[in-house]
Amino acid sequence: IEESVAEEVTEESVAEEVTEPIDHARAPLPRARGTTQGVRTMGAVPAVTDASFDQDVLKSSKPVLVDYWADWCTPCKQIAPIIEELAAEHGDKISFVKLDTNDNTAVPTQYGIMSIPTLQLFVGGEVATQIVGARSKGAILKALNEYL
């Protein structure tokens, strides 16, 4: 009888094995930052939930851009790479997060989100600016310019 040896699976070993793009609509739910676990997100921008919104957004010491999105929303998928780029380029001045409106309905309802994608910039726990609909990188930068 051949004896099998179980290999310890760590986050690092799993990350090394993943070489193909993830289909987020079918992928297992990844862990996100903060108090959020098992939250679906698009790309490297961290996710927030109804439960973590107060801590991750409203109590943040720097401005936070919240991207309200859903996996069925084509314009949301179109602006996702732009949000990723902006987070990489300006993450030192503004925190960028995503909120999946399929799984989190309380915050979008509280802030009157009627259409997605919607981007809201929170400064000091208050909405400072809002962008509704898909926009170019330049248009988003123009709206955020005061905070960059």
Q: Which of 76, 83, 94, 144 is catalytic?
A: 76
What is the maximal distance between C-alpha atoms in the chain?
A: 69
Q: Facing residues of 73 across strands?
A: none
Residue that is written with structure tokens 């790479």 in the block: 81
Whether 84 sits among the annotated catalytic residues: the reply is no
Q: How far apart are CA 69 and CA 72, in angstroms?
A: 9
Whether 64 sits among the annotated catalytic residues: the reply is no
Q: Which of 73, 80, 97, 131 is catalytic?
A: 73
Two tokens at 70? Answer: 């859903």
Q: What are the C-alpha distances in Å from 58 to residues 1, 72, 135, 138?
A: 59, 27, 24, 26
Catalytic residues: 73, 76
